[in-house]
Amino acid sequence: MATTTLAPGSKTYERSWVLDWLTTVDHKKIGVLYIVNAFAFFFFAGLLALVIRSELAVPGLQFVDESTFNQAFTMHGTLMIFLFVVPVFSGFANYVVPLMLGAPDMAFPRINALSFWMLPLGGLLIVSGYLVGGAAAGGWTGYNPLTQEQFSPGDGTDLWIMGLAVVGTASILGSVNFLTTIFKMRAPGMTLFRMPIFVWTVLVTQALILLATPVLTAGLIALFIDRNYGGSFFDPSVGGDPILWQHVFWFFGHPEVYIVILPALGVVSEILPVFSRKPLFGYKAFVWATIAIGLLSFSVWAHHMFTTGVVFLPFFTFMTALIAIPTGVKMFNWLATLWRGSLVFTTAMLFALGVMSMFLIGGISGVMLAAAPVDFHLQDTYFVVAHLHYVFFGGAAMGVFASAYYWFPKMTGRRLNEALGKVHFWMLFVGFNATFFVQHSLGIQGMPRRIADYSADAGWTEMNLISTAGAFLIAASMVPFVVNVITTLLNGEKVGDDPWEGNTLEWATTSPPPTYNFDRLPPIRSERPMFDLRHRDDPNLHPELAHAEIATIEADS
Amino acid sequence: MPDQILGYVLLGAAVLAIAAIVASAARGRAQPPLHPPPGVHVPPGSWLPVIWALGGGLLGAGLAFKPDDQAAAWWFLIPGLGVFVVGAILSVRTAGREWRETEHGSHDEGSGHH
Amino acid sequence: MSAQAPARRQGGFPIPLVGMLLFLSSEVMFFGGLFATYFSARASFAGPWGPPSGAEPLEILPIALPITLILVSSSFTMHAAVRAIRRGNSGALRLWLIVTLGLGLLFVSGQAYDYTVLGFGISDGVFGTVFYTLTGFHGAHVFGGVVGLSILTARAGQGQFSARNHVAVEAVSYYWHFVDLVWLALFSTLYFLR
């Protein structure tokens, strides 16, 4: 074996676990770090959501003033999107993608660690606004001239800008890593069209991150220059254009929402086949649909700007409606996968079905908003808030929980308790719909978003109360989840390599895997190498694999 | 003032939550050292990512906290630049050391040769 | 760059170069965002477009054109360095790296000097803002390239590059050519397209 610095010697394990985790470059540990960090920000931003919903339950300002409320919804949005939902999927992808590819690690392990550590630091920068007189309060979208120095004085907005720049840079470095790994480090026999679907969605997601995030960075820098160095990018009083901010922001912002949802759709596409005991219907169509969504996502940004008056409405309505087609293809592929399958309703499966149904509702409200005349009435109302939460929470966040229940056994060697999991799911499902379904009506009735208070005569009070009750139910549903995680880690039911009878390569190694991931790999002849391995004696299936030996890499011992 | 108190409370809650989850996750993590198959090299741990991230964070803070009459908040920027430069120097030295070990250290097949 | 070791023989396009190309595409999008602000401001500006009154209009002499020629020739010297090490000539590699580095430093100093004589600043209206933001970030990228070249020169001095093991030189050369191309686009936009 090699010299001590290139292979793990026993002295690695005499160090404290703190040092081990601080200096790790192992993609599995980094994945866990991503997930833990993301959930910390999830709970923080969730508390902010409770602040918002508590204040809005009944008319009148009972708990916070307008300034605090503005900071609450700004930080809630910013932290949920940039510090929870995108990084948590980066974390799952970090853990799972090299395993699914049969690779020993990511292409650039140290840059992988760097990408992680920039996240808590960037998040700290953003949140530290609270300690210096007020966090950013201009909405997660940072529209000008509200975020100019004149209307957002103080360091909170500057910290928001710098924190997002740090987080954005981390994402871009991560995307270089993922794309290089996927293109260059697949196991022998794994062609691009034999990769698991989750890897395909990660590929397109990371390509979007690579190309869209730098545009946000450019815009953030421009805003920083305006605020601090007397720049004139967006300030109309000195020749700048506030609409330019919207263009630059949404050119990033729309691909961003596909960055959020695509990994969740990928996870659903992994879970449904396993728990239907059937292959994914239409693998190739799914791949092309994912690529189409990625490409189209760059052509629709101005649908966030229909009411500015500067947008060529027919084009953007058309392109936005068009992007619903590949999304619909995925929906039908999933239905066809479930059709006549032997369904097993584990918690992971329930969450995957939850993603399908909730994302369907969110997608439909999205297509409604795509029609410019409809958008004229619903822009900046609670209808948009309902839509974005159905896709972000009902789609992406439920996908996060699906991933958690599905891959927890692989990561820890223990299976989460199914009874507690089901309690978590149903409480979350009911609470989520209670919170957000009524918001469609609130929006149609004209309730604007981002307001701290509303008139008692508006007739919105009852629905706001229902929505707030739902929000507290969502919060309560996190209790069985956290209890489940902690008790399982301490003393949960142990599992072997492949508790779910999965299809993909992460189930071909121990739970948790060794540092170097695989001692040996099965032959790879399709997108379901583990299924093929289990059925290798079935002459109807891949006759060339009948009685195949499993070996490519030999273990030392 | 209410903002600050709320901020501290939320931050404290988040830190406690992280600590609790990390503590319960980290227990029982130590695995016996295993030998990878030949040709598979597992990179050792490194402080460089934390150093680079810290440098970047300090630089960001230095720019964000800038007083109105100066170009940046020097209290953060100078240490940030310092950490960054230290990180850069350490990275170059690590690269050199690894190159030397790959070329003249192990004799596994084709590992250091691109 | 550190030693990468996959589990099988490495074939095809080297991993560090794939990483550099991907990184450069993100940089294209970054500069694209900045160029978008330039063109947007230009398109909606009422009045004559250029430095504010009181400052000289932009001229390609005596600074802008010479530093352009300097940067373009540095791409040629960079390529000479790459060709040298592909042939295994470590000494010529060092020489061409030092020349490229010197030309890069000349560019940055020329740009910095230009800033002192232009007569307007970043806070002097939209033109000043977009001009300094674009040229400033480009200059910073050239400086980053200079740092990379210095590291390469030091490593070449220690004999760390050979004909079959010099991927870092190739990667930095990609970056350097990219920085040159961005400057050509910027120079044409600022000084000719106007």
CB contact under 8 A, B95 and C1: yes
Q: What is the pLDDT of residue B6?
A: 74
Work out the angle between the directed axes of helices A197-228 and A86-101 (0-180°, nearest 10).
Answer: 140
Chain B residues 52-91 with CB within 8 Å of chain A? 52-54, 56-57, 60-61, 63-66
Q: What is the mean pLDDT of chain A?
A: 92
CB contact under 8 A, C16 and B114: yes
A490 pLDDT more than 80: yes
- The nearest CA of chain A is from the CA of C24 a distance in Å of 10
pLDDT tens, per residue, chain C with 194 residues = 333 334 444 567 899 999 999 999 999 999 999 999 999 999 988 888 989 888 888 888 889 999 999 999 999 999 999 999 999 999 999 999 999 999 999 999 999 999 999 989 999 989 999 999 999 999 999 999 999 999 999 889 888 898 988 999 999 999 999 999 999 999 999 999 88
Smallest CA–CA distance from C156 into chain B, residue: B96
**pLDDT tens digits for range B50-100:** 999 999 899 888 888 888 777 778 888 888 889 988 988 888 888 888 878
Whether the Cβ atoms of residue A372 and residue A300 lie closer than 8 Å to each other: no
Q: Is any Cβ of chain B less than 8 angstroms from the Cβ of C155?
A: yes
Would you give the distance in Å from CA A261 to the centre of its chain? 6
Task: Verify cis geometry, omega within 30 degrees of 0, for the bond prior to C62.
Answer: yes
Q: What is the pLDDT of residue A255?
A: 97
Least confident window among A179-183, B12-16, B83-87, C19-23: B12-16
Chain C residues 29-88 with CB within 8 Å of chain B? none
Q: In whole angstroms, how far apart are CA A333 and each of A269, A391, B19?
A: 9, 19, 42
Q: Cite the DSSP H helix spans in chain C.
A: 15-44, 65-86, 90-117, 125-157, 167-188
CB contact under 8 A, A233 and C25: no
- Longest CA pairwise span in chain A (Å): 78
**Percent of residues in chain B assigned helix, strand, coil, to nearest 5:** 65, 0, 35
Domain ranges of chain A: 29-518, 519-557
Q: What is the pLDDT of residue B23?
A: 64
The residue among B34, B76, B114 with the most chain A CBs within 10 A of its CB, best to mutate, is B34
Least confident window among A117-126, A200-209, A319-328, A506-515: A506-515
Which letter does DSSP use for residue A448 in this model? B
CB contact under 8 A, B3 and A169: no
d(CA C68, CA C73): 9
The residue among C23, C127, C129 with the most chain A CBs within 10 A of its CB, best to mutate, is C129
In a domain, B75, yes or no: yes
The residue among B4, B9, B10, B106 with the most chain A CBs within 10 A of its CB, best to mutate, is B10
| Interface residues from chain C to A (CB-CB < 8 Å) | 2-8, 12-13, 15, 18-19, 22-23, 25-27, 29-34, 36-37, 40-41, 44-45, 121-123, 125-126, 128-130, 133, 137
Chains A, C: CB pairs < 8 Å: 120
Smallest CA–CA distance from A520 into chain B, residue: B37
Q: What is the pLDDT of residue A85?
A: 97
Q: How many CA atoms lie within 13 A of A310 on its CB side?
A: 13
Which letter does DSSP use for residue B44 in this model? P
Rounded average pLDDT over A421-427: 97
Secondary structure (DSSP) of A464-506: HHHHHHHHHHHHHHHHHHHHHHHHHHHHPEE--S-TT--SSGG
- What band does B43 get if pLDDT is binned at 50, 70 and 90? confident
Domain ranges of chain C: 60-193
Nearest CB partner across the interface for C5, out of B41, B88, B103: B41
Secondary structure (DSSP) of A176-200: HHHHHHHHH-PPTT--GGGS-HHHH
Q: What is the pLDDT of residue A545?
A: 55
CB contact under 8 A, B102 and A6: yes
pTM, whole model, 2 decimals?
A: 0.91
Smallest CA–CA distance from C47 into chain A, residue: A239
Helix (H) or strand (E) holding A67: helix A66-78
Smallest CA–CA distance from C144 into chain B, residue: B88
**Bridge partners for C162 per DSSP:** C165
Q: What is the pLDDT of residue A553?
A: 45
A17 pLDDT more than 90: no
Q: In whole angstroms, how far apart are CA A457 and each of A57, A439, A441, A461?
A: 14, 18, 16, 9
- Specify the CATH architecture of the domain A29-518: Up-down Bundle (1.20)
- Find all residues with CB under 8 Å of A147, minimum gap 6, and list them: A136, A138, A157, A223, A227
- What band does B1 get if pLDDT is binned at 50, 70 and 90? low
* A chain contacts of residue C45, beta-carbon cutoff 8 Å: 239
B112 pLDDT more than 90: no
User: What is the CATH code for C60-193?
Assistant: 1.20.120.80
Number of folded domains that form chain B = 1
Rounded average pLDDT over A528-555: 67
Q: Which residue has the higher pLDDT, A8 or A494?
A: A494
The residue among A115, A117, A481 with the most chain B CBs within 10 A of its CB, best to mutate, is A117
Whether the Cβ atoms of residue A133 and residue A154 lie closer than 8 Å to each other: yes
A366 pLDDT more than 80: yes
Range of the domain at B79: 47-107
Rounded average pLDDT over A404-420: 95
Q: What is the pLDDT of residue A212?
A: 97
Helix (H, G, I), strand (E, B) or coil at C165: strand
A1 pLDDT more than 50: no
